[in-house]
Amino acid sequence: MSSRGQQQPSTAAHPVRVQSMTKEYPNGKIAVEEVSFELSPGTFLVLLGPSGSGKTTMLRCLAGIERMSAGRIDIGGRAVAAPGTHLPPEQRELAMVFQDYALWPHLCARDNVAFALKRRGVRREEARWRAEALLGRLGIGALCDRFPSELSGGEQQRVGLARALIGDTGLLLCDEPLSNLDAALREQMRIEISSLVREAGTTTIYITHDQAEAFALADRIGVLERGHLVQLAEPETIYAAPATPFVARFTGLAGELAVRIVGRTPTGAVEVQLSAGTSPTPLRATPGAGLEQHAGDALLLVRPAAVSLVAPDGTGCQLFARVTDVAFRGVGYEHAVVLADGTPLNGIFSPRRARWGENVGVALQPSGCLAFPAGAVASATAVGR
Amino acid sequence: MATLQQHLPLPAALKPPEGGGPPNNGETPPGRRGLARLRQDPQLVARGGLAAFWALLAALIVLPCACFLVLAVSPRLFGQGPQWFTLSYLRQVFTGTTAVSLVDSLWVSAAAAGIGLLVGVPIAWLSNRTLLPGRRFVAGAMWLVLLLPSWLPASGWERLVQPDGVMYRIGLNFPFVTSTIMGPFGVVLLLGLRCVPFSYLAITAALRGLGQEYEDAARTHGASRITSLRLLVPILAPAITSAIAIGFAESVSDFGVAATLAYRANFPLATYQLFADVNGFPPSFPGAAAIGWLLVGSVAVPLALQARALRGRAYRVLSGRSRAAVRRRLSRGGLIASLTVVIGYFAVALGVPGFGALSSSVLSDYGASLRPTLVNYRAVFNNSGLSGPLERSLIYGLIAATVTVALGFLCANLLSRRASASGTLLDFLLLAAVALPGVVFGAGYIFAYNLPALSHVGLDLYQTTTLLVVAYVASSMPTNARVLVGAVSQVDASLRNAARAHGASATRAWARGVLPAISRPVLMAWLLTFSGILLELPLSQLLYAPGSPPASVAIEDNLGNYHFGVGTAQAVVAVAIAFTVVGLALMLFRLVTPAGWRHVGEGVNE
């Protein structure tokens, strides 16, 4: 798998292979179970999951801060963790960006960054000069002498990023680096991380619970649920063909409809009818995992982008709804509606503003409607698609 | 009603007349006018209360100490010499035995602070960052070391190693050990052991605020374990500075070891020299005041430097998302070494003196008999001359602790309010009073409350129990206020406002909204004050009413007069009383208070 960025992978970028990673705590809680994946050099992997899904534990095991209970990790073709082997973090040739920045409060911005060059045996003066140059590139060259307490959150995270990049290590780990920043700064920092990391060509593993951040950054996304890697794929695949309803839900839905399968088309789509109420025409949907031979009741998971508002008596109207909320989003309006049977659909974009309480028609794009067998909520285990 | 009048338009007939008199009453009698005005002007009441509070602080803290200390340069001001202004007493401090005692105090305190750091830092690290067995007991044992007055372990050690002590009686006659402990080494050791809890508490607080991420960041960027530890030392520097400064200040101002082991070892320290000047015949107040200045300077300078260091370098490393540090499992060798350090410390700090006092209390005073006897305890319980001081100290402790906490709470409230000139002044005054050695405080009280001017106005407090209790309150209150200000500051006004907004009266709002949040800190402050007063020595020694010695004075008198058995038995009973009161208070708090009260503040530390 090659990087989607414009830059070629750095010659120093490491391939990463994780086999059956399992982490069980002394209290018996299993944080990560049997997770396996491989990354080619220069790949930007985002591990996406809710709180408690095991993503931070995975990252800490990769860093060597935590010791795995079982499994094997190879970084740059070298086993850094395996039964009987556990290399400490400093011997794994990696760098890390921390959620809380973890800048040493007694060192100024320059010295925090220069610290990471000690492992390279760089002379003190040169290290400081290189740190200043990198901080300058990140737009905070004038703040080199400031201590962390004298920097804003965004500036602190830029120092953290510079510290992680300056050592030119083969693997960069990012532990929710944007979660402490406000929305505007988050977007700005996301762009900076993306461009700098791709320019460096470093293999990157980045964890977040924000699906928008994941889609914007990743070459590949791994979705974690309760310690299991339930899907690992390109962002487009994750969005178009989620492996489980959990993945679909976690990566953004307008709503869920209880439906009944009434037929199949030659192109492979399924035709469904609402379980409660009727629609003017049958709905078409993309079959999800487990629906190949399934008939009867199903769950229709609808992506926001697949929903559009139409006139209730116009062509293309498939469902009737009433507008319950309208939010101005700059380039248009985001609507929430409730269908005739009471099912809500949210996040429906339209360039035209509908009125509160207005009766509208709803049209659904089959590619954004994903049908899963009814009751399919259990997590899949390690699916590497 | 005043509130209603301020906010509601009243009918003309009900409006109060100009000047605040009662409605429909025409002219108010002149005598009642002031009272009525007070009732209707809460700000006036508050101002009056504040003025009374400052007058009380002046009488309790400022005037006694100022009157005494000014004697060093102006003895004639209070009829203690012919000069209006002189530096001769300050110069005398730097000559002869006083100079020697001062130099000894300084180097002994520096050495003690060093010992405190050397032992306290590893114990703090072991109990906070490793899976050391029994680590949960370390904090409790440290508080025990801290709460025991320094003269008590010193007396225990003395009884063990003195020429006719317990070791000698059981056949372990080692003159070298006796001369080592009963000399500068013993003084440094005992003061050093007392400095360990200060280091432990300062470093523990810093370590708890220090998340794992700083170490993780160092390791993931190529630092070895040793390098990453080296990186953490500067982050802990403010705590280390605090530990050294507090240890030094506590040792310089200590009177317990100076008046017992050091005095009997013929190794006079400055605090004892001051006591001797005040207690001698004739007393030399200007000379004592000159020593007092140097003691205050010796304590204030390191504390001021520490405060300055903290202002500049107190790193805010605690955040809501800080990852709890990982406790390391110790290797077999590491475990043995660690347990040796921790157990060894508590054995020397508590075990040895405890054994010395206990064993001495069950041996008869004369002869070489080793047969245990309860004769000393029987004497303590049956002889009112021996049990009286214990009862007295118990009562003094209960009264003084209660008054102290009430006043301390008042001070903490004023300190926690938004910045004002009076708040800043109070803050400075309380900090200065914390730094004032107890013996200087006591000397100030002796001098100020013995002034003829007070007798002229009918205030004859000198050599009364009242003055002793007032001194206990005044000396404990600054520390008490500092302990409480943290808790009081954390109580947001919204707690009380929310209760008021939902219909509670001011009293009910305070009881329901504020009291639960501060009940535990208030109880702990009360217990700390009570324990401190029960066996307090310097003030007791200087101010006790003739014929009514408190426990510490009676115990020291007995030990000084070779009544070792009853003296140590009294000490053991006094410590048992302290434990009983603390245990009862904690049990009552658990039984009486609603579960929610106890929940507040729990689970913060671990």
Domains and CATH numbers, chain B: 56-72+374-600 (1.10.3720.10), 87-361 (1.10.3720.10)
Asked if residue A276 belongs to a domain, the reply is yes
Q: What is the pLDDT of residue B238?
A: 81
Q: What is the pLDDT of residue B497?
A: 67
Q: Which residue of A has its CA nearest to B237?
A: A106
Asked if residue A257 belongs to a domain, the reply is yes
Whole domain around residue A331: which residue ranges? 253-373
B485 neighbors B527 (Cβ within 8 angstroms): no
Cross-chain residue pair B221–A65, CB shorter than 8 Å: no
B287 neighbors B70 (Cβ within 8 angstroms): no
Asked if residue A80 belongs to a domain, the reply is yes
A239 and A264 fall within a common domain: no
- Which pLDDT tens digit goes with each residue over B362-374? 887 655 566 788 8
A135 and A24 fall within a common domain: yes
Phi, psi of B269 (to 5 degrees): -110, 165
A203 neighbors A39 (Cβ within 8 angstroms): yes
Would you say how long chain A is, in residues?
385
Q: What is the pLDDT of residue B493?
A: 66
- Which pLDDT tens digit goes with each residue over B549-571? 999 999 988 888 888 888 899 99
Which one of A206, A225, A247 terminates a domain? A247
Per the DSSP assignment, residues forming a β-bridge with B259 are: none
Q: What is the pLDDT of residue B481?
A: 84
A37 and A174 fall within a common domain: yes
Token match 């003066």: residue? A125
Cross-chain residue pair B221–A63, CB shorter than 8 Å: no
B223 touches chain A (CB under 8 A): yes
Global ipTM: 0.72
**pLDDT for B108 beyond 90:** yes
A17 neighbors A73 (Cβ within 8 angstroms): yes
Best mutation target, A56, A92, A97, A100, to test chain B (most B CBs within 10 A): A100
Asked if residue A5 belongs to a domain, the reply is no
Of A170, A194, A174, A190, nearest in space to A182 by CA? A190
Which of residues 311 through 370 in chain A touch B, CB cutoff 8 A?
none
B60 neighbors B473 (Cβ within 8 angstroms): yes
B210 touches chain A (CB under 8 A): no
Q: Which residue of B has its CA nearest to A171?
A: B220
Cross-chain residue pair A88–B219, CB shorter than 8 Å: yes
A209 touches chain B (CB under 8 A): no
Cross-chain residue pair A100–B237, CB shorter than 8 Å: no
Phi, psi of A220 (to 5 degrees): -140, 150
List of E strands, B260-395: none
Asked if residue A295 belongs to a domain, the reply is yes
A63, A105, A180 ranked by CB distance to B220: nearest: A63
Cross-chain residue pair A102–B222, CB shorter than 8 Å: no
Q: Rounded distance, CA B474 to CA B436, Å?
A: 11
**Higher pLDDT among residues A98 and B171, named by residue:** A98
Asked if residue A178 belongs to a domain, the reply is yes
A175 neighbors A207 (Cβ within 8 angstroms): yes
**Higher pLDDT among residues B289 and B371, named by residue:** B289
Q: How many CB atoms lie under 10 A from the CB of residue A328?
A: 9
A215 and A286 fall within a common domain: no
Show residues of chain B in contact with A65, CB under 8 Å: 212, 216, 219-220
Q: In what order do the strands lie in the sheet with A16-24?
A: A30-39, A16-24, A70-75, A78-82, A85-86
Q: Which of B33-42, B292-301, B429-438 has the highest mean pLDDT?
A: B292-301
Asked if residue A34 belongs to a domain, the reply is yes
A67 touches chain B (CB under 8 A): no
Q: What is the pLDDT of residue B41?
A: 66
Q: What is the pLDDT of residue B412?
A: 84
A226 and A271 fall within a common domain: no
Which one of A185, A214, A247 terminates a domain? A247
Per the DSSP assignment, residues forming a β-bridge with A16 are: A39, A75
Q: Rounded distance, CA A223 to CA A210, Å?
A: 11
Token match 């360990």: residue? B196
Q: Rounded distance, CA A62 to CA A364, Å?
A: 42
- Judged by DSSP in three states, A265 sits in coil
Best mutation target, A59, A96, A156, A178, to test chain B (most B CBs within 10 A): A96
User: Residue B325: pLDDT band by 50, 70, 90 thresholds?
Assistant: low
A31 and A92 fall within a common domain: yes
Show residues of chain B in contact with A102, CB under 8 Å: 211, 213-214, 216-217
Task: Give the distance from residue B305's alpha carbon to the nearest chain A alpha carbon, in angstroms.
Answer: 19
**Which segments of chain A have a pLDDT < 70?**
1-11, 276-280, 376-385
User: Residue B296: pLDDT band by 50, 70, 90 thresholds?
Assistant: confident
A26 touches chain B (CB under 8 A): no
In order, the DSSP letters of B79-110 are TSSS-SS--HHHHHHTSHHHHHHHHHHHHHHH
**Higher pLDDT among residues A381 and B76, named by residue:** B76
Asked if residue A2 belongs to a domain, the reply is no
A89, A99, A100 ranked by CB distance to B220: nearest: A89
Instruction: Compute the half-sphere exposure of residue A178: CA atoms within 13 Å on the CB side of its CA.
Output: 23
Q: What is the pLDDT of residue B18?
A: 41
Q: How many domains does chain A have?
A: 2
- Quick one: angle between helices B225-253 and B270-279, nearest 10? 10
Q: Which of B65-74, B217-226, B281-290, B464-473 has the highest mean pLDDT?
A: B464-473
- Which pLDDT tens digit goes with each residue over B408-436? 888 888 877 766 777 778 877 887 777 67
Q: What is the pLDDT of residue B404?
A: 94
The residues, any chain, with a CB within 8 Å of residue B234's CB and separated by 6 or more, are A104, A106
B293 neighbors B72 (Cβ within 8 angstroms): yes
Q: What is the pLDDT of residue A48?
A: 95
Per the DSSP assignment, residues forming a β-bridge with B130 are: B328
B219, B234, B235 ranked by CB distance to A90: nearest: B219
In order, the DSSP letters of B12-78 are GGGSPPTTSPPTT--SPPHHHHHHHHHHH-HHHHHHHHHHHHHHHHIIIIIHHHHHHHHTTT-GGGG
A76 and A168 fall within a common domain: yes
- Which pLDDT tens digit goes with each residue over B1-14? 333 333 333 333 33
A163 touches chain B (CB under 8 A): yes
Q: What is the pLDDT of residue A20?
A: 96
User: Residue B38: pLDDT band by 50, 70, 90 thresholds?
Assistant: low
A222 and A199 fall within a common domain: yes
A141 and A268 fall within a common domain: no
- Which pLDDT tens digit goes with each residue over B253-276? 888 899 888 998 889 899 898 888
Query: In this predicted structure, which of A120-134, B233-247, B387-401 has the lowest mean pLDDT?
Result: B233-247
Task: Give the distance from residue B313's alpha carbon to the nearest chain A alpha carbon, in angstroms.
Answer: 8
**pLDDT for B323 beyond 60:** no
Eight-class DSSP state of B260: I
Phi, psi of B353 (to 5 degrees): -65, -35
Phi, psi of A327 (to 5 degrees): -125, 130
B224 touches chain A (CB under 8 A): yes
Average pLDDT of chain B is 81
Show residues of chain A in contact with B223, CB under 8 Å: 90, 115, 118-119
Show residues of chain A in contact with B219, CB under 8 Å: 64-65, 88-90
A305 and A186 fall within a common domain: no
Q: What is the CATH number of the domain that holds A214?
A: 3.40.50.300
- Judged by DSSP in three states, B327 sits in coil
Which one of A247, A280, A312 terminates a domain? A247
Task: Give the distance from residue B332's alpha carbon to the nearest chain A alpha carbon, in angstroms.
Answer: 20
| Segment (H or E) for B65 | helix B63-70
A170 and A121 fall within a common domain: yes
Average pLDDT of chain A is 87
A168 and A217 fall within a common domain: yes
- Which pLDDT tens digit goes with each residue over A167-216? 888 899 999 998 888 888 888 889 988 998 988 889 999 999 999 999 99
A90, A99, A164 ranked by CB distance to B224: nearest: A90
Show residues of chain A in contact with B327, CB under 8 Å: none
